[in-house]
Amino acid sequence: MQFMLLFSRQGKLRLQKWYVPLSDKEKKKITRELVQTVLARKPKMCSFLEWRDLKIVYKRYASLYFCCAIEDQDNELITLEIIHRYVELLDKYFGSVCELDIIFNFEKAYFILDEFLLGGEVQETSKKNVLKAIEQADLLQEKTENMFHSKSFIGSKKAY
Amino acid sequence: MVAPSLKLQDLIEEIRGAKTQAQEREVIQKECAHIRASFREGDPLHRHRQLAKLLYVHMLGYPAHFGQMECLKLIASPRFTDKRVGYLGAMLLLDERQDAHLLITNSIKNDLSQGIQPVQGLALCTLSTMGSAEMCQDLATEVEKLLLQPSPYVRKKAILTAVHIIRKVPELSNIFLPSCAQLLHERHHGVLLGTITLITELCERSPAALRHFRKVVPQLVQKLRTLVTTGYSTEHSISGVSDPFLQVQILRLLRILGRNHEESSEAMNDLLAQVATNTDTSRNAGSAVLFETVLTIMDIPSAAGLRVSSPMPLPLASPTLIRYVALMSLLRLVQSDHNAVQRHRPTVVDCLQETDASLSRRALELSLALVNSSNVRAMTRELQAFLESCPPDLRADCASGILLAAERFAPTKRWHMDTILHVLTTAGTYVRDDAVANLTQLIAGAQELHAYSVRRLYSALAEDISQQPLVQVAAWCIGEYGDLLLEGNCEDIEPLQVEEEEVLALLERVLQSHMSLPATRGYALTALMKLSTRLRGDNNRIRQVVSIYGSCLDVELQQRAVEYNALFRKYDHMRDTLAFHPLRAAILEKMPLVERGGPQVDEEAKESKAAAKLSEAAPVPAEPQASKLLDLLDLLDGPSEDAQHPPPLDPSPGGALVQLLDLPYAPPPPAPIPSLKVFEREGVQLNLSFIRPPGTPALLLITVTVTNSSGGDVTHFICQAAVPKSFQLQLQAPTGDTVPAQGGLPITQLFRILNPNKTPLRLKLRLTYNHFGQPVQEIFEVNNLPVETWQ
């Protein structure tokens, strides 16, 4: 996978994970163009499209578009599964996830993604293991915060 | 005292509360100022919060480069919270283009070797996301150490980081190769998946690695078999398919290992068949696995039966996605196994109806690839139906595809003509430029179709004069075969009563329409002109129209109109017994068939040459009509009083035309050079004849002719030549090496001599042959070479 983008129906970026080195300007350009292209697609259309020399796999969940760019030799259908698995993970973590969760807790969304994919490849196929890893990291975070600082807030995962 | 800074969530709320873009910018600028101040002061406790806010702002598109150094500080901090945000910041803000990125290498190294597992995880993740080649070089050994760590959590990440390292620095592959064998024994799915990915990467980059890993094929087959046959396991299954991610990855590796390798392919054949048949494709996960299986089957030298049967289970009737991948796999298959794909033709054609552009495009590509001589009629019908309704960006491809297929497989000329006509009427504006030329060529070549074509084109034109290629062809056709149009009967289509006036009116409409391109107008004007000789009525109307265009703004049209006018005015009084209006008739008579494939001689240009237009020197068409044409050209040149008697034809055709076209640099016609007898011995004679082609002054062509008037045959005749150094000599192959006795067929041979410096020609010849049973050899220099051979 070369990159993954999450954006709303108004075209606002909610998450961007790049696995290839590109300048900021290039990333912005790609994002803008791709968002436009995907948003222009009609609902019944195929989830795969060809764009530049990449294959784009996208799926819409409620108000969010999940969009992945894969290479020629990658399997489109399994990429759809990857997207779906990620959504499930978010759902499990946030409890019935909605776009607002991802907006207000974007760094958590990144952390979850980083436990599922690494360097553009799937690293863990067990939902349970991914969620367990996140939980442990969260616990660790809380522990260190409690240890160091009295002013810190105890925590629900949502406050930061 | 630092003002209490906003919590991240509060900032986000405030930004979202902004009603306008300007307001949002204001909020963000204010906050960024705070953040910058906080960074300057170096507040370690809140640094992570500040950076998090900065990262949010960065995602909205605002600059955040001043946070780069803070990432470094956070990564170096011992606190886990700091590291978490710091590494995230590094992945978002730092990349290999920034010089700063190398500074985190040390921190990563420390974290990899000494950190607790979650920290190691963070470090590996960052390295694999944004690690540059230099970083990878520095950290490869650390990563390698982690490959065999006990904890699968770290191991799986280390393996995928190794994949990234190899992508960046392929030379480091060797470090990671040895561990692979051991890692393959893993049971942990994540580690196994990573290992397979690593092996795939190694094999793709190095043929040696590929050979090395072929021996694990049985092991892979075993693992896949276990996955497929094992029952339902909640942890890794999706819709009843056991760990499709792992299955797909194994299949991909098997494909790479089995490619072009009989032994490996055989080991996996059964399993592939099993997977193909047993996977439940009602949900996407199963389809993903099946798709990968099919790709693998197609790529390896597997049994033919497997290949043919495998795409069949692909449910082409099911949802859009499946259709898409099915079309993709068929497209790949059509190159190698055409017949197998032919069976799916009906379904492929169905897919043309898809509203989704990516699907219909694939279907179009595939349909065009499937056209052959037996299904061309049916397929063309489908494709034409598609052409009428397809989206504009596919029209050009569809139109050219149909035309190409028609050209290759047309069963009859008439069908071909009909097809092209249909394409022109439906998608005229999208056809390639040469379609017009092709069609006129086709029509001109098919004499039996002239009446039919002109009728069809006339009807089509009468309906719609907007599609330029169609209009051009129709105008041309009406001009050429207007007489057939008016005849009224044609056995192929229903009789069409067309009046002369209607035809003229139509062409006038074309001329006047603002939709017509200048080229189209040219066609129409010329067509009108031609009709003046084809139609029986008087030509006043045509003359009127033509003279109007004599003052047209378009130079091309104006020129034509003026010249056509001249044809009307000047030579109408000629009443020869030959024909009514012989000049015009001769100039405007039916065109001969243009040579296809040669230099594109534009039909228009040919006609305009006939009308004595001063154009570039073009080769005179060597036809029987040429001499007659030349008479007329002479007529046009001379004063009108002499028009009654055509002057005698110039002996060299080039001459008159040359004068007429008034080319200032045309060379004088070459006087023939006398030939030379250079050798005679016992009835065997050698003659040289010379030609200096006018276009190339340095070239001399010598034809050597060997004759034999003696009683004995001349056999094994070889002639060799030598010339001074400044010349270039080329001998072409002789017509033979035997001259039979008593004046038998002579041998001829062509010498080409290039004499760029115009130095005097000297030629030495060496002959060897057998005569009267005796070998003969003669060497001599040719004397008395005429001066014209080299001056």
- Three-state secondary structure along B480-521? HHHHHHHHCCCCCCCCCCCCHHHHHHHHHHHHHCCCCCHHHH
State how far the Cα of B7 lies from the Cα of B46, in Å rounded to an integer: 10
Tell me, yes or no, if B80 comes closer than 8 A to chain A by beta carbon: yes
pLDDT tens digits for B303-350?
Answer: 555 555 554 444 443 466 667 777 777 777 777 667 767 777 777 887
> For residue B302, what are the contacts with CB-CB under 8 A and spacing of at least 6?
B258, B265, B269, B272
B287 vs A contacts (CB less than 8 Å): 77
Query: What pLDDT score does A70 carry?
Result: 95
Higher pLDDT among residues A22 and B390, named by residue: A22
Query: What pLDDT score does B377 carry?
Result: 84
Strand pairing category for B699-708 and B763-771: unpaired
State how far the Cα of B491 lies from the Cα of B469, in Å rounded to an integer: 27
Tell me, yes or no, if A80 comes closer than 8 A to chain B by beta carbon: yes
Per-residue pLDDT for B203 more than 80? yes
State how far the Cα of B507 lies from the Cα of B531, in Å rounded to an integer: 10
Query: What pLDDT score does B306 carry?
Result: 59
Note which residues in 21-60 of chain A have CB less than 8 A from chain B: 21-23, 28, 42, 44-50
Per-residue pLDDT for B488 more than 80? no
Per-residue pLDDT for B272 more than 60? yes
Q: Which residue of A has its CA nearest to B7?
A: A160
Mean pLDDT of B6-29: 88
Query: What pLDDT score does B581 carry?
Result: 53
**Bridge partners for B448 per DSSP:** none
Mean pLDDT of B622-651: 37
Per-residue pLDDT for B302 more than 90? no
Per-residue pLDDT for B40 more than 80? yes
Cβ pair A78:B245 closer than 8 A: yes
Higher pLDDT among residues B723 and B670, named by residue: B723
Q: Which of B357-361, B400-404, B488-492 has the lowest mean pLDDT?
A: B488-492
Per-residue pLDDT for B208 more than 60? yes
- Cα angle A61-A64-A67, degrees, rounded to a multiple of 5: 90
Mean pLDDT of B386-392: 82
State how far the Cα of B301 lies from the Cα of B269, in Å rounded to an integer: 10
Secondary structure (DSSP) of chain A? --EEEEEETT--EEEEEE-S---HHHHHHHHHHHHHHHHTS-TTS-SEEEETTEEEEEEEETTEEEEEEE-TTS-HHHHHHHHHHHHHHHHHHHTS--HHHHHHTHHHHHHHHHHHEETTEE----HHHHHHHHHHHHHHHHHHHHHH-TTSPP--TT--
Secondary structure (DSSP) of B285-312? HHHHHHHHHHHHHHHTT--HHHHHHTTT
Most confident range, picked from B202-216, B297-311, B476-490, B501-515: B202-216
Choose the closest CB to B356 out of A45, A50, A136. Answer: A45
Secondary structure (DSSP) of B198-217? HHHHHHHH-HHHHHHHGGGH
- Cα angle B743-B748-B749, degrees, rounded to a multiple of 5: 160
> For residue B42, what are the contacts with CB-CB under 8 A and spacing of at least 6?
none
Whether pTM > 0.95 for this model: the answer is no
pLDDT tens digits for B162-200?
Answer: 999 999 999 999 899 888 888 888 888 999 999 999 999
Query: What pLDDT score does B411 carry?
Result: 82
Cβ pair B128:A23 closer than 8 A: no
Structure tokens at B693: 């082609």
Strands (E), B552-683: 676-681
A9, amino acid identity = R
B155 vs A contacts (CB less than 8 Å): none
Of the pLDDT bands very low, low, confident and very high (cuts 50, 70, 90), residue B633 is very low
Query: What pLDDT score does B362 carry?
Result: 80
Note which residues in 305-344 of chain B have CB less than 8 A from chain A: 320-321, 323-325
In degrees and rounded to multiples of 5, residue A97 shows phi and psi of: -65, 145
State how far the Cα of B588 lies from the Cα of B375, in Å rounded to an integer: 42
Query: What pLDDT score does B545 carry?
Result: 80
Tell me, yes or no, if A154 comes closer than 8 A to chain B by beta carbon: no
Choose the closest CB to B85 out of A107, A144, A148. Answer: A107
Query: What pLDDT score does B492 carry?
Result: 61
pLDDT tens digits for B408-435?
Answer: 888 888 888 888 888 888 887 777 777 7
A44 vs B contacts (CB less than 8 Å): 320, 355-356
Per-residue pLDDT for B610 more than 70? no
> What ipTM did this prediction achieve?
0.91
Per-residue pLDDT for B14 more than 80? yes
Per-residue pLDDT for B147 more than 80? yes
Cβ pair A118:B157 closer than 8 A: yes
Contact at 8 Å (CB) between A5 and A33?
A: no
Strand pairing category for B774-782 and B763-771: antiparallel
Per-residue pLDDT for B80 more than 60? yes
Q: Which of B245-249, B250-254, B546-550 has the lowest mean pLDDT?
A: B546-550
Query: What pLDDT score does B84 carry?
Result: 93
Q: What is the dihedral of CA B42, B43, B44, B48, to 10 degrees?
A: -100
Tell me, yes or no, if A128 comes closer than 8 A to chain B by beta carbon: yes
State how far the Cα of B128 lies from the Cα of A130, in Å rounded to an integer: 18
B146, amino acid identity = L
In chain A, the percentage of residues whose pLDDT exceeds 90 is: 71
Higher pLDDT among residues A114 and B628, named by residue: A114
Per-residue pLDDT for B630 more than 60? no
Of the pLDDT bands very low, low, confident and very high (cuts 50, 70, 90), residue B489 is low
Q: Closest Cα to residue B325, out of A65, A122, A61, A46?
A: A46
Contact at 8 Å (CB) between B539 and B529?
A: no
Query: What pLDDT score does A26 carry?
Result: 92
Of the pLDDT bands very low, low, confident and very high (cuts 50, 70, 90), residue B468 is confident
Q: What is the least distance, in Å, from the CA of B106 to any CA of chain A?
A: 20
Secondary structure (DSSP) of B666-720? PPPPPPPPPPEEEEEETTEEEEEEEE--TT-TTEEEEEEEEEE-SSS-EEEEEEE
pLDDT tens digits for A74-101?
Answer: 998 899 999 999 999 999 999 999 999 9
pLDDT tens digits for B658-687?
Answer: 333 333 444 455 567 788 888 888 888 888
Cβ pair A128:B235 closer than 8 A: yes
B616, amino acid identity = E
Query: What pLDDT score does B308 carry?
Result: 55
Query: What pLDDT score does B651 carry?
Result: 39
Tell me, yes or no, if B428 comes closer than 8 A to chain A by beta carbon: no
